[in-house]
Amino acid sequence: MIKIIHQTFCLWLLIFLTACGDPTPQLERLPDDAVILAFGDSLTYGTGANKEESYPSVLENTINRKIINAGVPGELSMQGLKRLPKLLEKYQPGLMILCHGGNDILRKENLAEAETNIREMIALAKNKNIPVILLGVPKPGLFLSSAKLYANIAESTNVIFMPNLIADVLSDASMKSDSVHPNKAGYREMAFTIANALQDAGAL
Residue 18 lies in a domain: no
In which order are the strands placed within the sheet that holds 132-135? 66-71, 35-40, 95-99, 132-135, 160-162
Helix count and strand count (H, E) for the chain: 9, 5
Domain for residue 144, yes or no?
A: yes
What stretch of H or E contains 97?
Answer: strand 95-99
Per-residue pLDDT at 47 exceeds 60: yes
Q: For residue 118, give its domain range.
A: 31-200
- For residue 141, the model assigns a pLDDT of 80
- Residue 191 within any structural domain of the chain: yes
Summarised one tens digit per residue, pLDDT across range 85-138 is 999 999 999 999 999 999 999 999 999 999 999 999 999 999 999 999 999 999
Our measurement of the distance from residue 61's CA atom to the centroid of its chain's CA atoms, rounded to an integer in Å, reads 19
Residue 69 · residue 46 · CB < 8 Å: yes
Q: Any idea what DSSP says for residue 51?
A: G
Predicted TM-score of the model (pTM): 0.88
54-63, pLDDT tens digit by residue?
A: 999 999 999 9
Q: What is the mean pLDDT of residues 167-189?
A: 97
Residue 23 has pLDDT above 90, yes or no: no
Q: Which of 196, 174, 193, 195 is nearest to 184 (CA)?
A: 174
Please report the pLDDT score of residue 140 as a whole number. 85
Q: Considering the domain boundaries, does residue 111 fall inside one?
A: yes
Instruction: Give the chain's domain count.
Output: 1
What does the alpha-carbon distance between residue 106 and residue 128 come to, in Å, rounded to a whole number? 31
In the predicted structure, residue 18 carries a pLDDT above the cut 70: no
Geometric angle at alpha carbon 151, from 42 and 170, rounded to 5°: 40
The better pLDDT of the pair 146, 12 is held by 146
CB 159 within 8 A of CB 131: yes
126 is a domain residue: yes
Q: What is the CATH number of the domain that holds 90?
A: 3.40.50.1110
Residue 27 C-alpha from the chain's centroid: 14
Whether the predicted pLDDT of 152 surpasses 70 = yes
Half-sphere exposure of 88 (CA within 13 A, CB side): 22
Chain-centroid distance, C-alpha 42:
14
